[in-house]
Amino acid sequence: MTEPVVHIDNLTIQYQNHTVLDGLSWSIRKGEHYVIGGKSGSGKTTLAKAIAGLIPANDAIQIHFDTQSPLRAKVEYIANWYQFTNLEGDRNFYYQQRYNRHQGKDTLSVKGDLEHFAQKEGLCFADIQQRIHDFGFEHAQSTQLIELSSGEHKKLQLIRGLWIKPQLLLIDEPYTGLDTKSRALLNAWLDDWANQGVQLILITNDNNLPKAINRYAQIVNGKVETVSSPTSFFRDSKRNKKDIPAFLKEVPETSFDTIVEMENVNIRYGDKVVLKDISWTVKVGEKWLLQGPNGSGKSTLLSLINGDHPQAYGLNLKLFGQPRGSGESIWDIKQKIGMISPEMHWYFDTNATVWHTIASGFYDSNGWFIDVKFHEKLQIEELLEFFDLRDVKDRILHTLPLGKQRLALLARTIVKNPPLLVLDEPCQGLDSDQTQYFNDVVDELAHYGKTLIYVGHYESQLPQCIDHRIVLEHGEVKAIEDIVLNDKKIKESVIA
């Protein structure tokens, strides 16, 4: 029998006093393409990083490359999020910086990043051109890394990792942030590479997988268990439904009838048009779904609403009944908004505890805040109880499983009971049960006068309260519709 591609013998990895992998042994043979799924926080990412050599494994892992293969004798790991640096090698970015053009030039462009990567790895740029085109990523070539949306960052990660064509490829949450078309293209690409000999290990609970996938495993009590299909993966325990905290049942006071009014709004960076002639009105109490393919302008549109975009002044734009630039400060705007987004999650203070994370929602900061008032402390404690986070309130946010991180950030979003909730792909990386729980909470909140703007790609993973939809494409409004999600019936459609 030939040697396995990956052989692991008695691998143990601990973080502080917590054992993540406990005497784990596992072998992967040539042609076995795995999905590793199961409970969040079980050790999936830790195992992948150990196989890739990013975490010390004390000689417990052996990789046997095929010396006759034309593929690179390399293990390539594509992380859940893309960690990039500025031109000086620094990762110390802040959230609003991605909309400030002159500061954005502190990072490489997409093409510059790919060219640098090609030179480092000895790759030919022509070999990836067609993939870039197929991914719909050509328009982003001149875009600075800091300006990319989460979906665009994922595409860049995938293009880089797949370009190498390694013998062993591990991808952590491969579909995070990708629109439906891009997910299908990725699966076709992975099938192509598998047919050429690339060994695949994907970390995901998604059911829409490449055809090449033929093995399934999960980590239970620090050890690998194989299962017959993704439906056999263990899931996080379903949370018992609790009564929503009393302060969130109070309808936010509003002295205005509209949340957003914009007419013929345009945003451009030099010759690049990001938003073109956008006209959109959001009335108090409406629940909007914002959709569009990666790079369509969704993040830029939201940045105009939440006060982060410097070009908001001088536009025909009203927020909360007041023309933008009529004397209000950015903090006046943010006080009325609760927001969560993948980008905010990226840039969030890495030293913030769960308690500090929620408390920062009162002051719209990314972790830092002044001393909270007594009634604010009570609201924080109520949310810790509501989201089952009390036992981890003193843990550093980024050390928790992704599902708990997102719940803590949702608690931060609603802690001040704002009139507008902006939830930008809030369920990225969550499994179906976690997503359902999250959206059930959103539906419950919607009963108490909240206005909602929700960004999501998949109708099957959305709150049922949504009653309107706006669709962007290439920076323009493609459609504005009234919808009913529970039976997918289109009540009225206005195509722009």
Domain ranges of the chain: 6-232, 246-495
* Average pLDDT score over residue span 114-118: 90
DSSP state of 241: P
**For residue 359, which amino acid is it?**
A
pLDDT number for residue 325: 76
Pairing relationship of beta strands 18-28 and 6-15 according to DSSP bridges: antiparallel
Number of residues in the chain: 496
Residue found by looking up tokens 């490829």 in the block:
169
**For residue 366, which amino acid is it?**
N
* Average pLDDT score over residue span 291-296: 86
Instruction: Report residue 82's pLDDT band, with 50, 70 and 90 as the boundaries.
Output: low
Instruction: Report residue 152's pLDDT band, with 50, 70 and 90 as the boundaries.
Output: confident
- Is the distance from CB of 308 to CB of 320 less than 8 angstroms? no
pLDDT greater than 80 at residue 310? no
Pairing relationship of beta strands 489-495 and 322-323 according to DSSP bridges: unpaired
pLDDT greater than 90 at residue 260? yes
**In this predicted model, which residue has the larger pLDDT, 308 or 431?**
308
pLDDT number for residue 95: 44
- CA–CA distance from 107 to each of 23, 115, 139 (Å)? 42, 14, 17
* Average pLDDT score over residue span 177-202: 93
pLDDT greater than 80 at residue 239? no
- Give the homologous superfamily in CATH for domain 6-232: P-loop containing nucleotide triphosphate hydrolases (3.40.50.300)
DSSP 11-48: EEEEETTEEEEEEEEEEE-TT--EEEESSTTSSHHHHH
**For residue 67, which amino acid is it?**
T
d(CA 368, CA 356): 7
Instruction: Report residue 370's pLDDT band, with 50, 70 and 90 as the boundaries.
Output: low
pLDDT greater than 70 at residue 367? no
Domains 6-232 and 246-495 share a fold: yes
Instruction: Report residue 485's pLDDT band, with 50, 70 and 90 as the boundaries.
Output: low
Partners of 258 in the β-ladder: 283
pLDDT number for residue 18: 82
d(CA 421, CA 414): 8
**How big is the chain by its Cα radius of gyration, in Å?**
23
Run of H or E including 119 = helix 110-121
pLDDT number for residue 197: 96
Full-model pTM:
0.78
pLDDT number for residue 213: 97
Q: Give strand ranges (E) for 158-205.
A: 166-172, 199-203
d(CA 321, CA 459): 31
pLDDT greater than 80 at residue 348? yes
Phi, psi of 325 (to 5 degrees): 90, 15
Helices vs. strands in the chain: H and E counts, helices first: 13, 20
* Average pLDDT score over residue span 279-290: 96
Please count the other Cβ atoms lying within 10 Å of the Cβ belonging to residue 260.
20
pLDDT number for residue 34: 98
| 243 CB-near residues (< 8 Å, 6+ apart) | none
pLDDT greater than 70 at residue 487? no
pLDDT number for residue 16: 72
Mean pLDDT for all residues in the chain: 86
Spatial CA neighbour of 470 closest among 214, 204, 278: 278
Run of H or E including 195 = helix 180-195
pLDDT greater than 50 at residue 357? yes
pLDDT greater than 70 at residue 89? no
- Span of 309-318, 362-371, 423-432, 462-471 with lowest mean pLDDT: 362-371
Pairing relationship of beta strands 451-455 and 337-340 according to DSSP bridges: unpaired
| 472 CB-near residues (< 8 Å, 6+ apart) | 290, 291, 292, 296, 297, 298, 301, 478
d(CA 318, CA 284): 13
- Give the homologous superfamily in CATH for domain 246-495: P-loop containing nucleotide triphosphate hydrolases (3.40.50.300)
pLDDT of 243-259, one tens digit each?
A: 899 999 999 888 899 99
- CA–CA distance from 424 to each of 145, 301, 383, 406, 428 (Å)? 19, 11, 21, 12, 9
DSSP state of 291: E
pLDDT of 400-421, one tens digit each?
A: 888 888 889 999 999 999 999 9
pLDDT number for residue 91: 43
Partners of 227 in the β-ladder: 216
Partners of 470 in the β-ladder: 290, 480
Spatial CA neighbour of 167 closest among 9, 5, 2: 5
Instruction: Report residue 491's pLDDT band, with 50, 70 and 90 as the boundaries.
Output: very low
d(CA 449, CA 451): 7
pLDDT number for residue 234: 86
**For residue 162, which amino acid is it?**
L
pLDDT number for residue 272: 79
* Average pLDDT score over residue span 97-106: 49
